[in-house]
Each structure stands twice: as structure tokens, then as C-alpha cells.
Amino acid sequence: MKLSALRPAFRGSWRSLASVIPAATKVRILDDGAHLHGSGAPAAGVGGPPPVHTICIAIAGQPNVGRSTVFNSLTGLDQHVGNWPGKTVEKKSGFVRFGQATLELVDLPGTYSLSAHSAEEEIVRDYLLFEPPEAVVVVVGAATLERNLYLVAELLAFNVPLVVAVNMMDVAAREGVELDLQSLQTALGLPVKALTAARNEGLAALLACAVATARGPRATTAARPTPRPEHRPIICNLMQLLDGNIPSAYPLEWLATKLLEGDPRLTQMARAKSPTARVGRTRARASRARRCLPGYRRGALRLDP
């Protein structure tokens, strides 16, 4: 079927890096064309020192949606490859000079959800909680959209700006799938961009959108999932118990939902941070200190709660 309405309107072009960025810093330059500069003139500042501020953008997605293809197409061979701290999972990052902005792109491991049932899921979750980027590009497959939107729904619970990148539009076209991305954008309350990363189609428009999202105000129209009415009172009670007793990085409603799901790691954390656990630890410390008192005999001293 004809998908002319969804055809990306712009393709990025690569330019030489010589004399633009110091040799110690590997940065790939993507021409932003008319997307950030309406005249189509070269971006101001090219040839001068790079901007001081670097915008960190993470690329997330389920496996087999072309997430790494998007990352590799944007960064080329200018990548830093290592391991995530304390893990054997590979970590990739790279820099892209886009107009007047320098972007640090982080390729997050492919994960179906944010439940810590695997090392990859744990890495993505901890990264978003404790090292949140300025924007997250969520890559979904055009031909597997319904399945891939589950991860988008989970990411909506985090306080991080999102951009949905619908990849492999060519595959959807071959399979006769026609997508109304404008309706999807309205339903999600998030910016949605079409691309075919394997052909470098739509990448510049995606980056322009990600930069604008990172710099702009937080979206207030995002359609976050809501629990069933019968679950709502339970979640509210849990949120009241958790409020003030857990690190502020954890979104309360998301954490309460995960506790209802039986997430083992978060359940252990919540128990350790609960007031009852703190009282128990205080009593244990007092008991140990009591044993160090001169003339201590079991039963001779008592510590009232």
C-alpha cells in the first residue's frame, strides 16, 4: 500500500570531521539542514570550538526493532565500547554534532520490559532511575507496533522526555501495513517520527525532534497508563506507605505497581527501607551496644522499645 503520507521528508548527510572537533574527542557531524535552520544554511559555529553543554540522549527499545541500527547509523565507527558497571553486558556510547548541539548517544540494551528479570532489564531500569538522560528515543518496529508499545507504556512512568521512533517503515510497507502516525502521536501525547534506519531515512528529523524535546518543557499531555478501578485503592495505600520512606528517584506509582507484580528486587528494597525494618535495625544495634557495657549480663539490662 502507498505510504506517501508517512514518507520521511528529510535525509541527513555526513560531513568531514577535520578541524571541527579536537582530535581527542570523537564526534560525528550530522547536517541538520532546514530542521533547525530554516534557511538551509550551514549551522553556525561549525569550524569553531564545540559547545560546552552536551545533551545526553538514550536509545531504548525491545530486541529486533533496529535500535542498534539507529545508533550505529548515527555514530558510525566513532563509538566507545565497554561494559556497564558491575555487569558483563556491553555498553556503547558515541557523540554526534548536530547543528550547534553536541549529543551523547547511549545505546541501551534491548529489553522487553523494565522488570528486573535479566541483567539487561536491570541496567536499563537503574540507568533511567539514577542517571536519567535528557531524552529517550524509544525505537519500535512499524510491523510489530502493538507488541513494542508495551515498553513505551512502562517508560511513561519515568520522569524523562520521550520520543517514539517508528523504525522499519519499509518492512511495514512490504507487509501491507499502513500506519497513521499522526493519530498515534495524538493518542500517546508524545512526538512520533517515522524512519528506516537501514537506509539512513528520517534520522536527521529524529535527532531534531529529540533535541527539541530535551531542551523544551516536559510534556504534560503524555497518556500515561492508569490502573484498573479495583486496583487503584491498593496502589494508593501502597503509595502512602512508601512516601518518604524510599529514595526519591523511584516514581511512587510505578514502584507500587511493581510491588503488586511481585518484583523481587524492589520488594527487598521496600522492606529494607520500611519504618518497621528501621526499628528492627535500631533495636539490633542497641542490643549489640548493650553487650559492650561493663558488667553486662544477659537479662540484667533491658532496652524498652
**Separation CA 17–CA 23 (nearest Å):** 9
Look at residue 203 and give its three-state secondary structure: helix
**C-alpha distances out from residue 104 to 108, 174, 207, Å:** 13, 34, 11
Q: pLDDT digit of tens for each residue in the chain (305 aa)? A: 333 333 333 233 333 222 333 333 345 555 443 333 333 333 333 444 544 579 999 999 999 999 999 999 998 867 888 888 888 888 999 999 888 889 999 999 999 998 878 889 999 999 999 999 999 999 999 999 999 999 999 999 888 999 999 999 999 999 998 899 999 999 999 999 999 999 999 999 999 999 999 998 776 678 888 888 888 888 898 898 888 888 888 999 998 888 888 888 888 888 888 776 654 554 555 456 556 655 555 544 344 44
Chain position carrying cell 529524529: 206
DSSP class of residue 217 equals P
| 4-215 fold | Rossmann fold (3.40.50)
Where in the chain is CATH 3.40.50.300?
4-215
* 43 close to 37: Cβ distance less than 8 angstroms: yes
Residues 213, 217: Cα–Cα separation, whole Å = 7
Which pLDDT belongs to residue 278?
A: 56
pLDDT digits (tens, 9 = 90+) for 27-47: 555 544 333 333 333 333 344
Cell of 139: 525505537
For the stretch 94-106, pLDDT in tens is 999 888 889 999 9
pLDDT of residue 150: 92
Q: What is the secondary structure of 127-151 as a DSSP string?
A: HHHHS--SEEEEEEETTSHHHHHHH
Rounded to whole angstroms, the Cα distance separating 185 from 183 reads 5
Is residue 56 a contact partner of residue 134, using CB atoms and an 8 Å limit? yes
| CA dist., res. 120 & res. 89, Å (int) | 7
CA-nearest of 137, 189, 194 to 162 is 137
How far is the C-alpha of 303 from the C-alpha of 296, rounded, in Å?
13
Give the β-pairing of 135-141 and 101-107.
unpaired
Report pLDDT for 16.
29
CB 270 within 8 A of CB 242: yes
pLDDT of residue 272: 84
Backbone φ and ψ for 197, nearest 5 degrees, come out as -65, -35
Q: What's the pLDDT score for residue 261?
A: 85
